[in-house]
Amino acid sequence: MKKNFHIYFLFINIFLLFCLYLEIIKIRWQFSQEHENNAYLKVANNKLTEINFNLKTEYYHLSSPAKVERHAKEILKMIEISKATNVKYEK
């Protein structure tokens, strides 16, 4: 009777160890997946930071006063007012 109890206890321990090993394998796999996801997110963040920098540079270039003045002179054919002129209306 005591021998049967020891065999059952041994099998229960082996089963529990097997379950623990499976859990460890699963956790290690999840950890490696999270590590890969983290590396991918760092690369994506660097790309987005670079794109953001390029867009800000382009925005500042397009809205600069020199660019606006050149656009007004060349495309809209506007001229700079150099002196004030008085217009007198006759009745």
Question: Tokens standing for 62?
Answer: 């397009």
Question: Tokens standing for 61?
Answer: 């270039």
**Residue 9's pLDDT band (cuts 50, 70, 90):** very high
Domain boundaries, the chain: 2-74
- What pLDDT is stored for residue 89 in this prediction? 78
- Taking phi over 0 as left and psi of -120 to 50 as alpha, with beta for the rest, 77 belongs to left
The pTM of the full predicted model, rounded to 2 decimals, is 0.54
Distance CA 55, CA 63 (A): 12
- What pLDDT is stored for residue 13 in this prediction? 96
Query: How many Å is the Cα radius of gyration of the chain?
Result: 38
41-48: Cβ within 8 A, 24+ apart: none
